Amino acid sequence: MTNPYAPPLAVVRDIADPSALAALADGGTRLRATILDSVIFMAMVYAPVLVGAILGGLAAPGRDDARTYSMVAAGVVAVVTFTVWCWLTIKYMKRNGQSIAKKLLGIKVVRTDRSPVSLGRLFWLRNVVNGLLSILPLYGFVDALFIVGESRQCLHDKIADTIVIKA
């Protein structure tokens, strides 16, 4: 006969195994990803305009029509490359919370509970709201300082309820 007053014998796990969770990305990798994303954007969008302006000025000094055509061509190339950049960025962000550089460096953005982050949260909270707040003096500096905390969340991560982990 079993004792009805005995404690239950079932094994209960209240928390997830911490060793199964991906490690937080370090600040240096996040900084490199930010810089690399900026370089990729500049190379894809601004470089064609710069090259067009230089070639237009060198192609036919004194001929305004040649400069105009080269600038229009550079503008068209910039719009096309900007569209490609947007497509790649949205594709990677939607698929697994990564920008182009985050994908290259092996890190990604997730919710603080480690669930996948939505494209809307990435766009609106991490980018648009953060961009609007960057109008405030010293906001960018304060935002970056938050990364030295234990959770390694910048201020824009706290706003969006996200963390950056190793992919």
| pLDDT computed for residue 71 by the predictor | 76
Measured distance CA(42)–CA(82) in Å, rounded:
10
| pLDDT computed for residue 121 by the predictor | 94
Output the pTM of the full model.
0.77
Report the 10 Å Cβ neighbour count for 160.
23
| pLDDT computed for residue 19 by the predictor | 53
Measured distance CA(103)–CA(154) in Å, rounded:
19
Measured distance CA(126)–CA(43) in Å, rounded:
23
Q: 146 in a domain, yes or no?
A: yes
Q: 156 in a domain, yes or no?
A: yes
Domain of residue 67, residue span: 23-166
Instruction: Pull the structure tokens for residue 38.
Output: 């900026």
Task: Say how many residues make up the chain.
Answer: 167
Residue 105 contacts residue 36 (beta carbons within 8 Å) = yes
The H or E element that residue 157 is part of is helix 155-160
Q: 17 in a domain, yes or no?
A: no
Q: 114 in a domain, yes or no?
A: yes
| pLDDT computed for residue 3 by the predictor | 85
Q: 15 in a domain, yes or no?
A: no
Measured distance CA(124)–CA(111) in Å, rounded:
14
| pLDDT computed for residue 61 by the predictor | 66
Dihedral pair phi/psi, residue 137, rounded to 5°: -60, 140
Q: 58 in a domain, yes or no?
A: yes
For residue range 40-64, list pLDDT tens digits in order.
999 988 888 787 777 766 666 667 7
Domain count, the chain: 1
Residue 102 contacts residue 89 (beta carbons within 8 Å) = no
Identify the segments of the chain with pLDDT beneath 50.
none
Q: What ranges in the chain are assigned the alpha helix state H?
A: 27-41, 47-59, 64-96, 100-105, 119-120, 130-133, 139-145, 155-160
Measured distance CA(16)–CA(113) in Å, rounded:
11
